[in-house]
Amino acid sequence: MTTAPVHRSPRLERSRTDKWFGGVCGGLAAHFGWSPALVRTLFVLSVILPGPQVLVYLALWIVIPKAPA
Give residue 44's pLDDT band: very low, low, confident or very high (50, 70, 90). very high
User: Is pLDDT larger for residue 21 or for residue 10?
Assistant: 21
In a domain, residue 1? The reply is no
**Domain with 33 in it:** 12-69
pLDDT for 6: 47
CA pseudo-torsion sign 53, 58, 63, 65: positive
User: Is pLDDT larger for residue 39 or for residue 11?
Assistant: 39
Question: Model pTM?
Answer: 0.77
In a domain, residue 67? The reply is yes
Using CA atoms, how far apart are residues 7 and 43, in angstroms rounded to an integer? 29
Give residue 5's pLDDT band: very low, low, confident or very high (50, 70, 90). low
In a domain, residue 6? The reply is no
Integer CA distances (angstroms), 23 to 19, 54, 66, in order = 4, 14, 8
Q: Is residue 30 predicted with pLDDT exceeding 80?
A: yes
In a domain, residue 63? The reply is yes
Using CA atoms, how far apart are residues 28 and 21, in angstroms rounded to an integer? 13
Count structural domains, the chain.
1
In a domain, residue 20? The reply is yes
